[in-house]
Amino acid sequence: MASKESSAFARIRTEVIRVVSGIPEGSFTTYGSIGGHLNVNPRHVAYFLARLNEEEAAALPWHRVVGAEGRISRGMAEHRRAEQQARLEAEGMKIDPKGFICDPDRSFHAFGPKREIRRAGE
């Protein structure tokens, strides 16, 4: 990943936040879907979402981003996993005991041209 001081780092973070903010209520997407759209590693998407400040986390629907299999990430702290599940269920999603979202038709994919956000000077 780009250095935290680099302009690429800032652009990736900005684009992750932009895409996540556009996920409609009652829908979910994956780190991989966002990463593919932005042409970055899905782990970069997870990195930025895990480091949202309190104000950003309150305003951004981060809970609508799940793992590749449509599953709440097992790498999150238990209280965050519980919060994510509760927020998804409040939006009408059913989640099985293993953390999988039971309705794949609620999946949302970013649309529009893929972004090349790593290049400087654009």
pLDDT given for residue 34 in this prediction: 94
Helices 7-21 and 31-38, interaxial angle, to 10°?
A: 130
Reported confidence tier of residue 109, pLDDT bands at 50, 70, 90: confident
Q: Where in the chain are the domains? A: 7-106
Residue with the larger pLDDT of the pair 43 and 110: 43
Separation of alpha carbons 22 and 110, rounded Å: 8
For 56, the token pair is 């950003």
- SS3 state at 95: strand
CATH 1.10.1660.10 describes domain 7-106: no
Q: Which amino acid type is present at position 107?
A: S
pTM of the model: 0.85
Lowest mean pLDDT among 11-20, 21-30, 73-82, 111-120: 111-120
pLDDT digits (tens, 9 = 90+) for 8-20: 889 999 999 999 9
